[in-house]
Structure 1
Amino acid sequence: MSRQLALSAFRVGNGVLGYTTRRIAASTRRTFSSTAQRKKEMIYFSKASSQELDDVLTEIRRKIVLPAYLPQPQRAKIYAKKYEKKLQSDPVTIEVDREVFKFRYVDPYSGVPSTKRILFRALDLFSEPADFDNLRPLIEGLAAANRKLSVETLAKLVRVVGTKGHIYKIVELARSVKRTGFKLDESETVNEVLHFIQMKAVFSDWDPAATEKALRWAEIVVDLLEEEDHQPTLKKKDGPPPPGWLPLPRDPMVLLSPLHLAAALALKQGAEAEADVVDKVVKYATKIVLLWEEDKALRQTQPAALFKRGGPFLYISESRNNKFVKLAAPWLYGLNAAVKVLQDQGPQHSELAAQLQKRRDNLDAEIQEARKTASGEIGEVTWRQVFEGENVRQGEQEDGVKVEDKTVEDGNS
């Protein structure tokens, strides 16, 4: 993709280059060098935990981010072979934030890094908490350079950062969507973010403070889905959504995440459960019951056409049962907890509890069937982490990271 962008910049600039060449011929005082004060805010990276990571971030800044600050005609020049010798002695120059940068010829085939490859090369080197402070400028820089990340790349980005324990940094990217371009407009991206937020609570053994924090961040995600900047862009080739399609803010698979966290928190608080936490359990349970018909499996709440190749739910189709089990295990735990919370609230919520129990039973049957044919390990690892107690979670957390990394790479996650 990066090479295509570079070549595109060269093609778009051909006319301008011709005009520039004529101007050079007409005036011996004209040079390639020019200084421009750009209005874009410069991207800076902080000191990383290793020299190797510092070098990768420097390469990203130099070869991807900084060229985006050049006006189009000058950007086209640095990728044009015919100007290689001239640029060697008279480079394109630009000033940003009173810092001067010089650009010489760059081979658009070998000199421009692959966006996806260098992004994950950097992320693989993120290890210390301070390294993750560079995540936002990294994504902002790619956005400023108009480097588009595919749905698959964004989902993998979430998995890598979430597995390393910094999922809230991802939510911050979404909150700053105007600068980062990180949109919550695809089911896979949203549910991966919510999954790792829930796992924060799971790995704390649903500690009240950690679970309350996770609930707060999950609700931030759900609220962001309503914002204009996160609305999906309808592509002409896709046509209108099929009948029965539920948008992300009304998708039970999305709402099950905050329900899980609210219910788990209410259970931990016990008889002293805060009224607003119980109210949240009631709120999300009510929405889910209204949106999820009692005789349907969870995946049947969305039209079947959306689970086919090219559809937004292919990632949890029957051919991807491993991923479905991974995501659905915390949802089932949450339904168990929510039913108990509602039952404990007395007869005023008994009907809602009974209705939620039916959905809970449907999901349990769906998960158990999916476990039989799931290809991969992360689904079972997550199941044990959620349902088989604190000792299992502590013993397998590190192993789970390794399995996650493996399944991300082989596409079975």
Structure 2
Amino acid sequence: MLRNSTLSAFRASDGVLESAAGRITRSITATHRRAFSYTARQNAGIAHFTPASTPELTKLLESIREKIILPSYIPPDQRRKIFSLKYEKKLQSDPITIEIDGEVIKFRYMNPFKEMPQTRRSVVSAVSQFTTDEDFANLRPLFEGIAYAKRKFGSDFYCKVLRTCGNKGKIYDVLDCARSVRRTGFKLDTSEKVNEALFHIQMKAFDSKWDEAETKRALRKAELVIELLQDEGHIPAKAEDRRMLDGELPLYRDPMTLLAPLHIAAGFVVNNGDSEDVGLMLEKATDYAKDVIRVWPEGKSLTAVQPEKAYEMDNKMKYLAEPNKFFALCTPLLHGLDMAIKVVEPELAKQLLSRRNQLTADLRAAKPDISWRGESAAEKFYGDVDTMITDLPEESQ
């Protein structure tokens, strides 16, 4: 079974070179060695990694490049030979050779069961070892490379990358990959990916103690996410994932999405009252508050805004059924409502307050089942969980 599934994986990647074939010039030498060369341009798709912070990480990145990414540049018939025991001796003396952007690369036999690294495990391991700016400079070429190699991953893989990078303060590096989705394959095409990204963008503003420049940057990034959600490059690849349910809001209009820029804009106003941009930020906060009110009916749980079936589907909102995840992701949104209530006009603040207290009730219901992530989010924004899940009186507006 393992042998069959592994070989199937290699066969599945046979179509990798079809789009690039027109850019490869082929020649066969007198010794029957196959030589291939790309037109001289750096953006041909080949991954180049900069030296990493540790020898172990450098070695891992080179392994990913040599064993996963580079073989995807070889035409399918030649690539199959690399993994065929039948050609082991021949390739030892006469390796398949290609030239890309002036770099000569030689391929010999690789045992697919012993020498080929598992792509998902290798990428997650590499990203988890990133610590320095130089390490994170390798993030985009890493995803460009695995996208070129046609490696496919589920939403949980990308969410893990978002959390790992976000926890290290590098969420903007991930957004750079998302902006280049056609080269990196890093799509923001599920609610969980979007809200993981927005969670860490909000944390950038909060952790800066609402520094004026950093908060403005965070708002630009949150608004970039909303723009990307309307880009066709971020439309789900599978037809069943693209299909909208009756009454379903697109992700760029989901209240959880809109609450993030509301939080950042309101946080700027509360903490940067002397800034020359406070008027513009108040206007933005007001506009986002109105948008939230329009799509989030009064008296309805935040987890009931979308159609009920969406909360049963893995590719839509089912992840919010996990109390700890729901609690953690909604904590900064609640904090944003608290701040917005302080700065918008009284009538709008009153409408936000009803949503705020509804969300508080939802979080109280989730409290018994939360663990470290939910608790730490509450402690960061409110000091403790109990303070956070207390209703605000009407006089607080």
Instruction: State the TM bucket, normalised to the shorter chain.
Output: 0.7 to 0.9
TM-superposed CA distance for 1:207, in Å, is 2.6
TM-superposed CA distance for 1:28, in Å, is 11
Does the C-alpha gap of structure 1 residues 12 and 218 become closer, same or farther in structure 2, counting only changes over 3 Å? closer
Q: Which residue of 2 aligns with 1:242?
A: 245
Return the alpha-carbon distance in structure 2 between the equivalents of residues 282 and 129 of structure 1.
Answer: 36
TM-superposed CA distance for 1:170, in Å, is 0.5
Does the C-alpha gap of structure 1 residues 74 and 334 become closer, same or farther in structure 2, counting only changes over 3 Å? same
TM-superposed CA distance for 1:29, in Å, is 5.2
Does the C-alpha gap of structure 1 residues 66 and 311 become closer, same or farther in structure 2, counting only changes over 3 Å? closer
* Aligned residues of 2:16 and 2:148 also touching (Cα < 8 A): no
TM-superposed CA distance for 1:311, in Å, is 4.2
Does residue 287 (structure 1) correspond to residue 291 (structure 2)? The answer is yes
* Aligned residues of 1:2 and 1:115 also touching (Cα < 8 A): no
AA at the equivalent of 1:34:
R
* Aligned residues of 2:190 and 2:315 also touching (Cα < 8 A): no
Residue by residue over 1:200-224, the C-alpha shift from the partner in whole angstroms, topping out at 9 and shown as x without a partner, is 1222222333222211111111111
Return the alpha-carbon distance in structure 2 between the equivalents of residues 269 and 12 of structure 1.
Answer: 51
AA at the equivalent of 1:136:
R
Does the C-alpha gap of structure 1 residues 159 and 209 become closer, same or farther in structure 2, counting only changes over 3 Å? same
Does residue 277 (structure 1) correspond to residue 281 (structure 2)? The answer is yes
SS at match of 2:267: helix
Q: Which residue of 2 aligns with 1:378?
A: 373
* Aligned residues of 1:9 and 1:76 also touching (Cα < 8 A): no
Return the alpha-carbon distance in structure 1 between the equivalents of residues 163 and 62 of structure 2.
Answer: 24
TM-superposed CA distance for 1:68, in Å, is 1.0
* Aligned residues of 1:2 and 1:112 also touching (Cα < 8 A): no
Count residues with an aligned counterpart.
365
AA at the equivalent of 2:356:
R
State the Cα RMSD in Å: 2.3
Q: Which residue of 2 aligns with 1:264?
A: 267
Does the C-alpha gap of structure 1 residues 44 and 11 become closer, same or farther in structure 2, counting only changes over 3 Å? closer
Question: Superposed, which structure 2 residues align to 1:46-57 within 5 Å?
Answer: 46-57=50-61
Return the alpha-carbon distance in structure 2 between the equivalents of residues 165 and 325 of structure 1.
Answer: 21
Q: Which residue of 1 aligns with 2:343?
A: 341
TM-superposed CA distance for 1:239, in Å, is 8.1
Q: Which runs of 5+ in 2 are unaligned?
A: 18-27, 385-397
Q: Which runs of 5+ in 1 are unaligned?
A: 14-26, 343-348, 390-413
Q: Which residue of 2 aligns with 1:358?
A: 354
Return the alpha-carbon distance in structure 2 between the equivalents of residues 125 and 258 of structure 1.
Answer: 30
Query: Which shifted more, 197-206 or 244-253?
Result: 197-206
SS at match of 1:93: strand
- What is the TM-score normalised by the length of structure 1? 0.83
AA at the equivalent of 1:257:
A
Does residue 210 (structure 1) correspond to residue 214 (structure 2)? The answer is yes
Residue by residue over 1:22-49, the C-alpha shift from the partner in whole angstroms, topping out at 9 and shown as x without a partner, is xxxxx99562x21111252421111111
Q: Which residue of 1 aligns with 2:38?
A: 38
SS at match of 2:97: strand
Q: Which residue of 2 aligns with 1:406?
A: none
Question: Superposed, which structure 2 residues align to 1:2-401 within 5 Å?
Answer: 4-8=8-12, 31=32, 33-39=33-39, 40-236=44-240, 240-270=243-273, 274-308=278-312, 310-317=314-321, 320-342=322-344, 349-374=345-370, 376-388=371-383
* Aligned residues of 2:222 and 2:261 also touching (Cα < 8 A): yes
Q: Which residue of 2 aligns with 1:393?
A: none
Q: Which residue of 1 aligns with 2:389?
A: none
* Aligned residues of 2:262 and 2:340 also touching (Cα < 8 A): yes
Does the C-alpha gap of structure 1 residues 229 and 191 become closer, same or farther in structure 2, counting only changes over 3 Å? same
Does the C-alpha gap of structure 1 residues 30 and 311 become closer, same or farther in structure 2, counting only changes over 3 Å? same
- What is the TM-score normalised by the length of structure 2? 0.87
TM-superposed CA distance for 1:336, in Å, is 0.8
Does the C-alpha gap of structure 1 residues 190 and 211 become closer, same or farther in structure 2, counting only changes over 3 Å? same
Percent of residue pairs identical: 42
Does the C-alpha gap of structure 1 residues 129 and 370 become closer, same or farther in structure 2, counting only changes over 3 Å? same
